[in-house]
Amino acid sequence: MSNSSSNKSQSQTKNNPDSTGHSDQTFDAIIVGAGSAGLAALREVAKRTKRFLIINDGAYGTTCARVGCMPSKLLIEAANAYHRRHTFETFGITGSNALAVDIPAVLRRVRRLRDDFVAGTVSITDELGARSVSGRAQLLSSTQVQVNGQTYSAKGIILAPGSSPILPPAMQALGARVLTTDTLFEQTTLGPRMAVIGMGPLGIEMAQALARLGVAVHGYATKEMLGGMSDPDVNAELRQALERDITLNIGAEASLHAVEGGIEVRSGAHRTVVDQVLVAIGRSPNLQGLGLATLGVPLDKHGLPPVNPKSMQVGDSPVYLAGDAHNDRPLLHEAADEGHIAGLNAMAPTPQCFERRIPLAIVFCDPNAAVVGQGFSALQRQDGLQFVTGSVNFVGQGRARAGQRNQGRLSVYADAASGCLLGAELCAPAGEHLAHLLALAVSQKLSVAQVLGMPFYHPVLEEGLRSALRDAARQLPDAVSSDLAHCGPIGALALD
């Protein structure tokens, strides 16, 4: 769900119970928002009842498919395919000077596949007929929702209104040159000069991808730590990787100013004129006008009610809040989990608590950056926790060298007493895959030695991860020696 009003694929009112504007229907569940969280809730609700309603305001198709994960990855895949030409001469491939990128064509493919991904999600609500309503929902009480002038009651209400890109009014006032992800992928072309404000995961991904497509990109961040990293060594690696593609300005706030033929970005003493600016400073929950105050629970300064992250329940009410609107873990897989939990609990006699998954965050830059489980700073903040850091630099790693991908660093953190893997941060080749391997290990509370007991094929990038694990193992108390986990490196850098 989004606050945009374009792209409505469904009529304003499919459900018109009576002419008074009041429905005599009481539903088992009402879902507000047909985004990823809402659709996940819908799946559970629809398994259990036909007496439900799903209400969506604005564009259908989920943030992820429409303006988030999917179109961004389409842009990145094209950018990285083109960028790979820099390895060609070394491999023995000639003619890369003749390669060029057609940004309008790249964007057309992004939209074409994006539309296909969106269609898959839209078809879910399209099949529901009168049970799907397009309009802006407002809570009247913990069991009543008003939409398009109609009031509906339900035993359980799931709120999954999603979020919208933050765009400060002063920036928005500058007009069409100022973009967010809502508008970025709708452009017919981009550049030749762009600024990206905000070096969170999305800002980093788009800044690097645009640069690799030939746009001159200036990136702006207020904080040293980029993309959610907290380990200084890993962050340094990520920064170095980014600075191969973009000009990075770190420290001062950036402000935008209209000038002849473009927008001037000012940050500290730095001034640059660009053609377009992508504002990527975060998203805010779509809570305005939702009527949360009617629930009678205290709202925080962001207007958020207290939500139990294990049940998604708002206070003791029959209302559940799921997805980006919760703003705790604004990630697709977490939104899907939250919708799942909310859907089950809205239909259950009493809400149940679910064990949430361990944290996993990935930045799809190259090399990929990721935080798995508990990051470095989260561990440092824990009083009395002793942990060891095992680290590897990929510069000399054999397989990475073979593929001309030998950049990056990976650090694992393990409990100094038990050897249990607590988390990892990385900016490393195939980092998205290494992060999933580590996520399984952390999920299962495995020790460093247990992970070292698995087979590592040769030559693979996972051997780099193994080097980091071995580095951690050297700092841990000895485990049983009849365990092959203690089989050490052969001693030739490129082979280990």
Identify residues 420-449 at the interface with its own copies (CB under 8 A): 430, 432-437, 439-441, 443-444, 446
The structure tokens listed for 32 are 């507000």
Among 4, 10, 25, 96, binds its own copies (CB under 8 A): 96
Residues 11-40 that bind its own copies (CB under 8 A): 36, 39-40
Question: For residue 167, with 0-12 CB atoms within 10 Å meaning exposed, 13-18 middle and 19 or more buried, which class applies?
Answer: middle
CA distance linking residue 265 with residue 276, whole number of Å: 10
CB of 123 to its own copies, least distance (A): 7
CB of 89 to its own copies, least distance (A): 9
Three-class secondary structure of residue 210 per DSSP: helix
* Nearest CB to its own copies, comparing residues 305 and 408: 408
Residue with tokens 């006008």: 289
CB of 81 to its own copies, least distance (A): 5
421 has binding-site annotation: no
Build a one-symbol-per-residue string for 97-116: x at contacts with its own copies by CB under 8 A, - elsewhere: xxxxxxxxxxxxx---x--x
* Nearest CB to its own copies, comparing residues 85 and 177: 85
CB of 119 to its own copies, least distance (A): 8
**CB neighbourhood size of 117 (10 A):** 19
* Nearest CB to its own copies, comparing residues 259 and 495: 495
Residues 313-342 that bind its own copies (CB under 8 A): 331-333, 336-337, 340-341
CB of 217 to its own copies, least distance (A): 18
Spatial contact of 60 and 119, defined as CB atoms under 8 Å apart: no
Phi, psi values for residue 57, rounded to 5° = -105, 130
CB of 285 to its own copies, least distance (A): 20
201 has binding-site annotation: yes
* Nearest CB to its own copies, comparing residues 430 and 476: 430
The structure tokens listed for 379 are 């561990």
The structure tokens listed for 403 are 């593929």
Residues 73-92 that bind its own copies (CB under 8 A): 73-74, 77-78, 81-82, 84, 87-88, 90-92
Question: Using CA of residue 38, residue 42, residue 45, residue 50, what is the dihedral sign?
Answer: positive
Which DSSP helix (H) or strand (E) runs through 489? Answer: none
CA distance linking residue 310 with residue 313, whole number of Å: 8
* Nearest CB to its own copies, comparing residues 158 and 263: 158
Among 140, 402, 417, 474, binds its own copies (CB under 8 A): 402
Please give the angle made by the CA atoms of 264, 269 and 270, to the nearest 5 degrees: 45
Question: 419-458 burial by CB neighbour count: b if 16+ within 10 A, else e?
Answer: bbbbbbbbbbbbbbbbbebbbebbeeebbbbbbbeeebee
* Nearest CB to its own copies, comparing residues 92 and 175: 92
Q: Identify any residues that bridge with 196 across adjacent strands, giving them in sequence order.
A: 219, 278
Largest CA distance in the chain: 81
* Nearest CB to its own copies, comparing residues 190 and 196: 190
Residues 469-488 that bind its own copies (CB under 8 A): 481-484, 487-488
Residues 154-213 that bind its own copies (CB under 8 A): none
| Helical H segments across 305-402, by residue range | 332-347, 376-380, 398-402
CB of 224 to its own copies, least distance (A): 25
104 has binding-site annotation: no
Question: Using CA of residue 366, residue 370, residue 376, residue 381, what is the dihedral sign?
Answer: positive
Residues 337-376 that bind its own copies (CB under 8 A): 337, 340-341, 344, 352-362
CA distance linking residue 404 with residue 396, whole number of Å: 11
* Residue range at the interface with its own copies (CB under 8 A); choices 48-56, 96-104, 138-146, 229-237: 96-104
Phi, psi values for residue 213, rounded to 5° = -90, 5
Residues 47-76 that bind its own copies (CB under 8 A): 62, 64-65, 69-70, 73-74
Closest-CA residue to 270 (of 286, 283, 251): 251
Build a one-symbol-per-residue string for 110-149: x at contacts with its own copies by CB under 8 A, - elsewhere: ---x--xx--xx-xx-------------------------
Question: For residue 469, with 0-12 CB atoms within 10 Å meaning exposed, 13-18 middle and 19 or more buried, which class applies?
Answer: buried
CB of 390 to its own copies, least distance (A): 17
The single residue of 326, 436, 458, 486 carrying the catalytic annotation is 458
Q: What is the separation of C-alpha 146 from the centre of its chain, rounded to a whole number of angstroms?
A: 31
Residues 273-302 that bind its own copies (CB under 8 A): none
* Nearest CB to its own copies, comparing residues 360 and 412: 360
Interaction between residue 269 and its own copies (CB under 8 A): no
Active site residue 257: no
**CB neighbourhood size of 484 (10 A):** 10
Catalytic residues: 458
Q: Residue ranges for the binding site for FAD?
A: 73, 324
